[in-house]
């Protein structure tokens, strides 16, 4: 029956800001600081439960309960709390996330897992962070390996590994509805669980509508909204003694606006000055992911072995038409032949000279674009280009020609993998893994059609504990790909344990990243269909843009030599935990940004040396306050373009969760970084949460306040020298969130 107390609470779910500070008492229906044994374990290092003090790598574990009380519902914002992670918002519809900086467009040197299965794109080794098929409400935690872990997960774990760990089905309510509404945000999350004799199945639907930021550096309106629907279905079934079968199906359908050059200062970029890119239409971004997994424990040669075998299917599709207006000369096949010469790569600084000499003398000349001594054929092409310019004339050569092209991509992965772990003796633990994968990518613009890739890796780690307070871990991974050479990575780590859960780590690793499909198989050229019945001087109503980008032969694997000394301390019941490390990372043979709009040439000789210090952790003061922090000091030494563009010397966060009473909790975060692209970033969030039982059901209500910075800068594929700048139409954002559990 409904009581007057229930009705009273229902009337006062939202207006609760003025509440006295009080300790949470033992009868509270929600204990914001309650921890279980599983909360204190890590699953990512071996995809089996281990203590943080036994991990050979630095790991940060973010609990979804903490993130919820801090008002963080987007996984991108969660990374702002992780030491070493740098986050930059390119536009409202896209964010860049990188560990220790490096790389502009879509960072391609991190592995991303959901329940241990890779979800990064099959073709391009990255993903779109703002449009993941996951939500914080789906997760129990986010574990981040802060450092190379190729030995554990393969090439893409070159700098870091992110593992999204789903809520255990046993802890999920029978049904849950969550609604968030604000000026810039609307979200609906609805899920239900069905339990039967030997298992459980959970399904949820999630929809989000984000308005974006709306202003650029030039105070022009920009369109950067996005909207999407997500479906997640997963289950866990006991199929036999010590054997479990679990599955997950994720599907997303998104549409987003991408404003292209509109965020870049007009005076800074040649393409903007020439009006090269005028409009990117609404982009469709879809994906489907299926994971089937068997796991268990079995005796093998009188030893217990934990094992798992999984199959993974992933499909990603993007439909992206682009309307642009170009000067007519960019479709000249003679200009394309000049740029195709192995001795010439046309660069922006040469275009004035090229056109002045061509129109005036009939023989085009170049200076900065010469990469090898010119041959007689090169001089003949430049003469033909000059004569073509004079024949067409200046007016017709510079005439704006508008057309439509597309950069559609479709990528598919089929993968089979397995893992095991066993104790060979009291002092020796052996683990191993294998993975076989086929990737397919289709893109007329970037690849010239369909490309297939087969890869295989095999890894093993051995942990030796000959001393009461010390252990040595040695691991190696061999990886082979039919498009590239093979690569061998290794890691050696010594852990020394002290009393009170204190550990010092000494780790050296050599990680190698094999190039992805878009790096080795690239045939990038834009094909335009002209608008308004336009026909060029050759009688064409469609044509290729003059530049074609091909992958160089024999790209080598990138190399990361890492040396680090780490320290970890943890208190009973996770009351406090701190992890810190000093590091040196030496990157060699780095491959340049494969989607740089202005420089289609790939290089394989980039170098970067990163040194620094990072730390993070939390401390809980009984039942009155929980505080957390992260900090990174980073020094970069590189002459390679792109690799310093997400660089910030200082970055970090401070957060706190405080029960105001038995029903109310206050959460605050302050995140920021020093200079990126000429400006600092500082953001403040505050969230008040109300939790209670209403009509015998759990109810949660939140007011979330967010103070955005004046502007945000990041470098993109459009320019490695001029940052993209976004500004907010409303720096002060307020959202209401209501959640019901049944």
Tell me how far apart the alpha carbons of residues 654 and 660 are, in angstroms, rounded to a whole number.
19
Overall average pLDDT of the 63-67 stretch: 94
Measured CA to CA, the distance from residue 474 to residue 230 in angstroms comes to 40
Asked whether the beta carbons of 450 and 523 are under 8 A apart, the reply is no
Strand partners, 515: none
Give kind and range of the element (H or E) at residue 354: helix 351-361
Report, as an integer, the average pLDDT of 344-372: 90
Q: How far apart are CA 680 and CA 712, in angstroms?
A: 8
pLDDT in tens, 559-590: 999 999 999 998 877 889 999 999 999 999 98
What number of other Cβ atoms are within 10 A of residue 356's Cβ? 12
Nearest Cα to Cα of residue 568 among 68, 113, 160, 42: 42
Question: Do 509 and 494 contact (CB within 8 A), yes or no?
Answer: no
3-state secondary structure of 353: helix
Edge-to-edge strands, sheet with 214-216 = 214-216, 719-728, 711-716
Rounded distance between C-alpha atoms, residue 735 and residue 704, angstroms = 5
Q: How confident is the model at residue 30 (pLDDT cuts 50, 70, 90)?
A: very low
Burial of 587 (0-12, 13-18, 19+ CB in 10 A): buried
Which residues, including other chains, have CB under 8 Å from residue 509's CB and lie 6 or more apart? 147, 148, 150, 151, 489, 490, 491, 492, 560, 561, 562
Backbone angles phi, psi at 208, to 5 degrees: -135, 145
* Rounded mean pLDDT, 520-539: 88
The answer to whether the CB of 270 falls within 8 A of the CB of 327 is no
Structure tokens at 596: 């740089």
pLDDT at 309: 95
pLDDT digits (tens, 9 = 90+) for 96-123: 888 987 655 667 888 999 988 889 888 8
Q: What is the pLDDT of residues 656-708, one digit of tens each?
A: 999 999 999 999 999 999 987 777 889 999 999 999 998 888 999 999 999 98
pLDDT at 49: 53
pLDDT value at 239 more than 90: yes
Provide the β-strand partners of residue 716: 719
Q: How far is CA 435 from CA 311, 509, 571, in A?
A: 10, 21, 37
466 or 511, which is more confident? 511
Q: What is the DSSP letter of 572?
A: G
Angstrom distance (rounded) from CA 159 to CA 585: 9
**Contact of 729 with 214, CB cutoff 8 Å:** yes
Give the residue from 234, 230, 228, 229 showing the smallest Cα distance to 249: 234
Q: Which sign, positive or negative, has the C-alpha torsion 260, 265, 268, 272?
A: positive
3-class DSSP state of 603: coil
Alpha-carbon torsion, ordered 85, 90, 92, 93, to 10 deg: -90
Average pLDDT of every residue of the chain? 85
Place 215 in a pLDDT band, splitting at 50, 70 and 90: low
CA atoms within 13 A on the CB side of 653: 26
For residue 584, give both structure tokens. 């040196």
Q: What CATH number was assigned to the domain covering residues 31-166?
A: 2.170.130.10
Residue 143's DSSP bridge partners are 61, 163
Report helix, strand or coil for 73.
coil
DSSP state of 331: G
Model confidence at 146: pLDDT above 60? yes
Among 139, 137, 144, which residue's Cα sits nearest to residue 160?
144
DSSP 643: T
Distance between CA atoms of residues 158 and 149, nearest Å: 6
Confidence of residue 22 (pLDDT cuts 50, 70, 90): very low
List strand residue ranges (DSSP E) for 211-267, in order. 214-216, 226-240, 243-256
Q: If 0-12 CB within 10 Å is exposed, 13-18 middle and 19+ buried, where does residue 613 land? A: middle
User: At residue 263, what are phi and psi to the nearest 5 degrees?
Assistant: -90, -5
95/728: higher pLDDT:
95
Q: What is the signed CA dihedral for 573, 578, 583, 587, rounded to 10 degrees?
A: 60
CA 646, CA 418: separation in Å to the nearest integer? 35
Contact 336, 548 (CB under 8 A): yes
User: What pLDDT score was predicted for residue 43?
Assistant: 66
> Which residues sit opposite 110 in a β-bridge?
160
* Alpha-carbon separation of residue 233 from 376, 705, 739 (angstroms): 64, 32, 20
- What are the backbone angles phi and psi of residue 620, rounded to the nearest 5°? -115, 125
Cβ atoms 36, 473 nearer than 8 A? no
- Give tens-digit pLDDT for 709-723: 887 777 666 666 667
- The torsion angles phi and psi of 610, rounded to 5 degrees, stand at -110, 130
Strand partners, 685: 669, 706
Give domain limits for the chain: 31-166, 328-402
């Amino acid at each position: 029956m409904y009581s007057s107390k229930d009705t009273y609470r229902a009337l006062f779910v939202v207006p609760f800001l003025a509440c006295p500070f009080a300790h949470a008492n033992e009868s509270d229906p929600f204990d914001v600081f309650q921890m279980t044994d599983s909360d204190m374990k890590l699953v990512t290092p071996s995809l089996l439960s281990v203590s943080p003090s036994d991990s050979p790598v630095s790991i940060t574990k973010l609990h979804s309960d903490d993130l919820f009380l801090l008002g963080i519902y987007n996984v991108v914002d969660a990374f702002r709390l992780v030491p070493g992670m740098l986050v930059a918002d390119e536009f409202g519809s896209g964010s860049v996330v990188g560990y220790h900086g490096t790389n502009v467009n879509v960072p391609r040197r991190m592995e991303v897992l959901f329940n241990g299965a890779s979800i990064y794109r099959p073709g391009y080794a990255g993903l779109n962070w703002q449009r993941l098929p996951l939500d914080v409400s789906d997760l129990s935690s986010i574990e981040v390996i802060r450092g190379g872990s190729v030995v554990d997960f393969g090439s893409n774990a070159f700098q870091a590994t992110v593992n999204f760990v789903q809520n255990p089905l046993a802890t999920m309510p029978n049904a849950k509805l969550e609604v968030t509404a604000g000026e810039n945000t609307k979200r609906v999350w609805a899920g239900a669980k069905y339990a039967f004799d030997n298992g459980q199945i959970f399904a949820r639907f999630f929809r989000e509508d984000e308005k974006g930021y709306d202003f650029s550096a030039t105070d022009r309106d920009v369109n950067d909204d996005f909207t999407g629907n997500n479906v997640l279905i997963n289950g866990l079934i006991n199929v036999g003694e010590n054997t479990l079968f679990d599955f997950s199906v994720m599907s997303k359908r998104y549409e987003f606006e991408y404003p292209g050059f509109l965020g870049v200062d007009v005076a800074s970029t040649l393409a903007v000055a020439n009006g090269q890119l005028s409009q990117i239409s609404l982009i469709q971004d879809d994906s489907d992911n299926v994971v089937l997994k068997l796991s268990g424990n079995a005796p093998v040669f009188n030893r217990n072995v934990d094992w798992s075998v999984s199959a993974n299917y992933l499909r990603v599709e993007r439909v992206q038409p682009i309307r642009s207006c170009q000067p007519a000369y960019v479709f000249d096949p003679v200009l394309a032949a000049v740029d195709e010469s192995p001795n010439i790569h046309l660069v922006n600084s040469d275009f004035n000279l090229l056109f002045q000499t061509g129109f005036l003398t009939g023989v085009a000349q170049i200076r900065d674009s010469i990469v090898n001594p010119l041959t007689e054929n090169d001089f003949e092409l430049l003469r033909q280009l000059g004569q073509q310019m004079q024949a067409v004339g200046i007016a017709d050569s510079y005439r704006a020609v508008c057309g439509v092209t597309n950069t559609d991509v479709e990528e598919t992965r089929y993968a089979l993998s397995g893992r095991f772990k066993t104790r060979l003796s009291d002092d020796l633990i052996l683990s191993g893994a294998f993975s076989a994968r086929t990737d397919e990518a289709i893109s007329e613009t970037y690849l010239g059609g369909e490309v297939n890739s087969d890869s295989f890796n095999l890894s093993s780690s051995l942990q030796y504990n000959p001393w009461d307070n010390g252990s040595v871990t040695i691991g190696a991974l061999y990886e082979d790909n039919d498009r590239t050479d093979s690569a061998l990575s290794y890691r050696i780590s010594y852990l020394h344990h002290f009393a009170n859960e204190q550990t010092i780590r000494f780790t050296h690793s050599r990680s190698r990243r094999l190039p992805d499909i878009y790096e080795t198989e690239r045939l990038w050229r834009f094909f335009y269909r002209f608008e308004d019945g336009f026909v060029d001087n050759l009688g064409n109503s469609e044509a290729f843009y003059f530049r074609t980008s091909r992958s160089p032969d024999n790209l080598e694997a990138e190399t990361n030599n890492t040396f680090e000394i780490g320290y970890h301390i943890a208190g009973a019941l996770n009351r406090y935990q701190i992890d810190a490390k000093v590091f040196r990372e030496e990157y060699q043979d780095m491959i340049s940004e494969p989607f740089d709009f202005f420089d289609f040439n790939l290089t394989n000789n980039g170098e970067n040396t990163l040194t620094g210090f990072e730390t993070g952790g939390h401390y809980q003061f009984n039942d009155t306050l929980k505080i957390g922090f992260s900090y990174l000091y980073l020094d970069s030494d590189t002459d390679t373009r792109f690799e310093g563009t997400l660089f910030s010397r200082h970055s970090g966060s401070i957060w706190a969760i405080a029960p105001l009473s038995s029903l109310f909790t206050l959460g605050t975060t302050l995140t920021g970084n020093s200079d990126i692209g000429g400006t600092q970033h500082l953001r403040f969030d505050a969230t008040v949460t109300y939790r209670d039982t209403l009509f015998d059901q759990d109810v949660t209500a939140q007011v979330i306040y967010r103070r955005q910075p004046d502007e945000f800068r990041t470098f993109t594929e459009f320019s490695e020298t001029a940052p993209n700048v976004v500004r907010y139409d409303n720096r002060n954002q307020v959202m209401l969130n209501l959640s019901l559990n049944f």
